[in-house]
Amino acid sequence: LDVSMDTWSYFRTCLASIWLHRFYIYSAVALGISLWIVIQFTTSKTKKKVTEPVRTEDKLVNGCATPQAKEVYVAAVKIFYGSQTGTAKRFAKALAEAVTSLNLPVEVINMGDYDPDDCLAEETTSRNVCVFLVATYTDGQPTESAAWFCKWLEEAANDFRVGKTYLKGLRYAVFGLGNSVYVDHYNTVGRRVDRWLWMLGASRVMTRTEGDCNTVQSRHGSIEGDFEAWKAKFLTRLQALCRGEKKPCSGKCKKGKCRSPGKQNKESSDHEHGASEHENTEVEELFETSSEEEADAEEAAGTNSVVDVEDLGNIMGHMKKAKSEHELQDGGVGRRENPGRKEEEEKREMITPALRDALTKQGYKLIGSHSGVKLCRWTKSMLRGRGGCYKHTFYGIESHRCMEATPSLACANKCVFCWRHHTNPVGTEWRWKMDQPEVILQEAIENHQNMIKQFRGVSGVKAARFEEALAVKHCALSLVGEPIMYPQINRFVRLLHQHSISSFLVTNAQFPEEIR
């Protein structure tokens, strides 16, 4: 009992002492917390000062941003080449070595092993710079390895279903390989690839350069010299891009031709001012005009742009006036007085030479004088083992075995919001020469099969589906125009069914008698 009393007395004495000196204890705790805060702040500030110079030093190596930097302006460089004799491939490897010396990732790609339908759109957000080394082969055609890539690019650039900003964000440069001895086809592939990329919204990092195998005309004595000069300029431009400098070309040059100050005269050859400019001008004219009446109306109205609905009355007035004057100049009164001559005049071919050129450049395979066939993008998709269109979802139609065609390229309307560039003819009744349905069907199947055969060996295409696609099992009469306007549409559909080909017809419902 005495021991327990002594312990309690001792404990109570300690508590009383702590209570009496509580002010000193509080002060010591506060001082300790303050010292801890100061030490933590000083340590973090010192670390920041030490690491900041490292980031600044590592940010630029040879003028290029490294992967450790926060802002990466150029992630990598992809070099595409299409070569027949090995020159473009050799140039691609040499350029890759030079780019590697700048501590940039680089990839060399054979166009024959690349699927643009799958991968090219990814380059719009990858921050890569794409370089195209393309050679012009026999008769101005691309090399065998680059043939499919160029065909895909051409169809995408001329297809109204592909947006004109499809490749917006892709940065590219083109070096063409050609021989000026062949004047008519000199570097046509390089020029076309450059223009098609531009038409799809891609941006040049520098003006296209054309290498010349003809040592007499070559700017630097040989195509190797042309390449070395271009390579030096490209590497300088690439370093500027790595530093975040903006490109000198805005990418909005008219007709796909760069007009950057001081660049055009230095880097574009004299051949471009002739053949290429004429070709670009021809393309624009064909896309913007579709008939003599439209051209007369635009000339009378003094504009080539889309007009407001309120102004359509004036446009139609000018059109009728121009048409009347045209008939009077060509003896239109005499034709009206001669029914036989009028009937003969009306039975002209639907597709004029200008329309034929325009539609062919958009990927149509024309049949006779008023029909056409074209591969649908869902056909291409299903050939690669992917999904089909809504007809596959709703009715079980296999898109890779479907032929998209039309027996009438003419449309009953000319809508101001039409996305088909107004290249198809317009008429509210059939007034053209007529081809027989048997001929249309036979040529449609042959043209469709020929387009399918171009997918043989293409990267990503399933062999089993390729074989199935050669046998047409369904026909979608929905390509363009008003197919039900064709006078022999019933015979044509019966022929399809006799060949065990199901039919799917799209109409704007402006011809109720034909629908019945």
pLDDT recorded at residue 247: 53
Structure tokens at 409: 């390229």
Burial call 400-425: b when 16+ CB within 10 Å, e when fewer:
bbbbbbbbbbbbbeeeeeeebbbbbb
> What percent of the chain is modeled with pLDDT above 70?
73
Mean pLDDT of the chain: 78
| Confidence grade of residue 322 (pLDDT, cut at 50, 70, 90) | low
Cα–Cα distance measured from residue 116 to residue 328, given in angstroms and rounded to the nearest whole number:
53
pLDDT recorded at residue 417: 76
- Region 141-146: what's the mean pLDDT? 89
Which of 243, 275, 301 is the endpoint of a domain?
Answer: 243
Contacts of residue 152, defined as CB under 8 A and 6 or more positions apart, other chains included, come to 116, 117
pLDDT recorded at residue 406: 93
Tell me, yes or no, whether 358 and 495 share the same domain.
yes
Residue 445: inside a domain, yes or no? yes
155-210, pLDDT tens digit by residue?
Answer: 888 877 787 889 999 999 999 999 988 888 899 999 999 999 999 999 999 999 99
67-93, pLDDT tens digit by residue?
Answer: 444 577 899 999 999 888 889 999 999
Residue 281: inside a domain, yes or no? no
- Region 348-365: what's the mean pLDDT? 83
Better-predicted residue by pLDDT, 414 or 69: 414
pLDDT recorded at residue 384: 86
Residue 412: inside a domain, yes or no? yes
Distances 152 to 220, 228, 264, 467 between C-alpha atoms, Å:
33, 30, 28, 21
Torsion on CA atoms 163, 164, 165, 169, rounded to nearest 10:
130
- Region 22-38: what's the mean pLDDT? 88
- CATH number, domain at 111? 3.40.50.360
Full domain range(s) for residue 213: 76-243
Is residue 474 within a helix (H) or strand (E), and if so which, with residue range? strand 474-477
Residue 419: inside a domain, yes or no? yes
pLDDT recorded at residue 404: 93
pLDDT recorded at residue 294: 37
pLDDT recorded at residue 201: 92
Burial call 434-447: b when 16+ CB within 10 Å, e when fewer:
bbebeebbebbbeb
Cα–Cα distance measured from residue 498 to residue 506, given in angstroms and rounded to the nearest whole number:
20
101-130, pLDDT tens digit by residue?
Answer: 999 999 999 998 888 887 888 888 889 999
Looking at the structure of the chain, the number of domains it has is: 2
SS3 51: helix
- Region 358-383: what's the mean pLDDT? 87
Better-predicted residue by pLDDT, 317 or 470: 470
Contacts of residue 27, defined as CB under 8 A and 6 or more positions apart, other chains included, come to none
Out of 293-297, 412-416, 463-467, pick the least confident.
293-297
pLDDT recorded at residue 323: 57
- Region 371-376: what's the mean pLDDT? 90
Cα–Cα distance measured from residue 288 to residue 361, given in angstroms and rounded to the nearest whole number:
14
pLDDT recorded at residue 113: 86
399 close to 390: Cβ distance less than 8 angstroms: no
Give the DSSP letter of residue 176: E
pLDDT recorded at residue 72: 78
Structure tokens at 79: 């070099």
SS3 178: strand
Would you call 174 exposed, middle or buried from its count of C-beta atoms within 10 A (0-12, 13-18, 19+)? Answer: buried
Tell me, yes or no, whether 237 and 381 share the same domain.
no
Tell me, yes or no, whether 209 and 358 share the same domain.
no
Cα–Cα distance measured from residue 187 to residue 179, given in angstroms and rounded to the nearest whole number:
7
Q: Which among 379, 402, 413 has a CA at the least distance from the CA of 481?
A: 413
Out of 18-27, 153-162, 296-305, 361-370, pick the least confident.
296-305
Residue 284: phi and psi, rounded to 5, are -65, -40
Asked whether the predicted pLDDT for residue 239 surpasses 80, the reply is: yes
The stretches of 159-254 forming alpha helices (DSSP H) are 188-199, 223-242
pLDDT recorded at residue 419: 66
| Confidence grade of residue 52 (pLDDT, cut at 50, 70, 90) | very low
Q: Is the pTM of this model over 0.85?
A: no
Would you call 159 exposed, middle or buried from its count of C-beta atoms within 10 A (0-12, 13-18, 19+)? Answer: middle
Residue 84: phi and psi, rounded to 5, are -110, -40
177 close to 222: Cβ distance less than 8 angstroms: no
Asked whether the predicted pLDDT for residue 66 surpasses 70, the reply is: no
Q: Which among 211, 140, 197 has a CA at the least distance from the CA of 166?
A: 197
| Confidence grade of residue 330 (pLDDT, cut at 50, 70, 90) | low
424-444, pLDDT tens digit by residue?
Answer: 778 888 888 999 999 999 999
273-310, pLDDT tens digit by residue?
Answer: 444 444 443 333 322 223 333 333 334 334 334 444 44
Asked whether the predicted pLDDT for residue 501 surpasses 50, the reply is: yes
Residue 311: inside a domain, yes or no? no
Cα–Cα distance measured from residue 132 to residue 437, given in angstroms and rounded to the nearest whole number:
45
Residue 335: inside a domain, yes or no? no
Residue 367: inside a domain, yes or no? yes
Would you call 316 exposed, middle or buried from its count of C-beta atoms within 10 A (0-12, 13-18, 19+)? Answer: exposed
- What one-letter code names the amino acid at 97? E
Rg of the chain's alpha carbons, rounded to an integer? 35
Tell me, yes or no, whether 102 and 231 share the same domain.
yes
pLDDT recorded at residue 358: 79
- CATH number, domain at 387? 3.20.20.70
Asked whether the predicted pLDDT for residue 415 surpasses 60, the reply is: yes
Which of 215, 243, 271 is the endpoint of a domain?
Answer: 243
Strand partners, 387: none
Which of 190, 216, 243 is the endpoint of a domain?
Answer: 243
Cα–Cα distance measured from residue 359 to residue 497, given in angstroms and rounded to the nearest whole number:
28
Q: Which among 241, 247, 139, 231 has a CA at the least distance from the CA of 183?
A: 139
| Confidence grade of residue 20 (pLDDT, cut at 50, 70, 90) | confident
Residue 291: inside a domain, yes or no? no
Better-predicted residue by pLDDT, 282 or 350: 350
